[in-house]
Amino acid sequence: MNTKRFSLLIIAFILSLVGISFYGGAITYVFFWTVVLIPVVCILYIIFVVMSLKIYQRTDGRDMVCGSPSEFYITLQNETWFSFSSLRLCFYSSFSTITGLHEGVCLELPPHSSLLQRTGLVCRYRGQYDVGVKKIIVEDFLGLFSYEYRIREPLNVIVSPAMILITELRDSENALASNRDSYTNRTEPDIPVREYAPGDDIRILNWKASASMQQLMVREKKSEEKNGIAIIMEPKRHAGSIEEYLPPENKMTELLLALSLYYMENNIPADVFTAPGQKINVTDPEAFDSLYGLIRTYRFEESLSLKDVLAGIYEKSAFARYKMLIFILQEYTADTSGWIERINTDHIPTRIYIVGDKGQYTADTDDRREISIVHVGTESPLEDIL
């Protein structure tokens, strides 16, 4: 309702009553009934428009990829003899963006006409939610009243996570290399060495032994040698409304896939833990496709916690064989810190990514030297973080 215009109508109604009371006559009665009928006609007009307006919207398919544009079609149709003077479209703008259409712009449909728009739809977050036109605000021809007409059958899409290609990891890879070098350069007697042979991987060169013996020496592989990386994602949902939990959960899955893809392409084995008793060993494209399919339909649960995932792995003493631990969390509490300390008795280099809007995304350190923490904003590009 337009308060200013409705106030003018009230003033006109009062004046019409004054005219009838003190002057009478045909003109004052015509004026009075005109003022009385204007709101009635406006309301009837809005009801007529709502019942007569036809709206069609569709996309090329229900399955989409986060951040990738898809075709979006919308048609407004007026098959009556009356003009639809004021239509305003409102979108599900929180999770998606429609290019070429501006929300709130007043549209007019002449009699027997239609408006067809072919635009692009970009979904911002992974998950399943409604997109497109959420409601239409219908106003009468005088702008006195308005009615919000909600779309009864909104478009519901399933959005797959984005694939972020990282060519180089700054801090994480440096931590892994540091750990690998520290292991390679140890000269304790329990690490046997032998003379370098053509074809040996230069990464297993033992530089201190080489310097003391004046020839290239490599360490021999042992069955208990640490190998690969463990990536653990917290399965807990921390909020009740979709507006609160969807952005951080999207960034967590995006980060998990980006790290897994990077390590796979660099031939570094990575074990991914996302739920109790669930592990995917990402060593080749087929395994990564399996991980992507899992994350595409993955559901965070309020009843689960990081403790549930770590407990099962801790019982099997599985963490001792990794060169690096990576945690993807929304909260880093004292309880979480205690669990990480409990499982990491070998002081394996550990990187903790905390996803959320903290206002700053620079890395700092835990009290323990082997632990580093990185804050990741829900809208921060991973290329700037990693």
pLDDT digits (tens, 9 = 90+) for 24-82: 778 888 888 888 888 899 999 999 999 999 999 999 888 999 989 999 999 999 999 99
Share of the chain above pLDDT 70, in %: 85
Estimate the crossing angle of helix 26-52 against helix 3-22, to 10 degrees.
150
CATH among 3.40.50.410, 3.40.50.2300, 1.10.150.130, 3.40.30.10 for 171-176+225-385:
3.40.50.410
Residue 266, pLDDT > 50, answer: yes
CATH among 2.40.160.40, 2.40.170.20, 2.60.40.10, 1.10.287.1060 for 1-160:
2.60.40.10
364 DSSP β-pair partners: 373
Q: What is the pLDDT averaged over residues 238-263?
A: 92
374 DSSP β-pair partners: 353
Pairing between strand 350-355 and 324-329? parallel
Per-residue model confidence as pLDDT tens digits over 296-353? 989 999 998 888 888 877 666 567 778 889 999 998 888 888 888 877 777 788 899 9
- Decide if 159 contacts 66 (C-beta within 8 A): yes
Q: Which pTM value belongs to this model?
A: 0.74
Q: Where are the alpha helices (DSSP H) in 298-352?
A: 306-315, 334-343
Domain limits of the chain?
A: 1-160, 171-176+225-385, 180-219
Instruction: Please name which of 98, 101, 109, 102 lies closest in space to residue 139, comparing C-alpha atoms.
Output: 109
Tell me how far apart the alpha carbons of residues 306 and 283 are, in angstroms, rounded to a whole number: 24
Tell me how far apart the alpha carbons of residues 47 and 34 are, in angstroms, rounded to a whole number: 20
Q: What is the largest CA-CA distance in the chain?
A: 122
Indicate the average pLDDT of the chain: 82
pLDDT of residue 33: 86
Which residue carries 């408006």 as its tokens?
A: 115
pLDDT of residue 186: 44
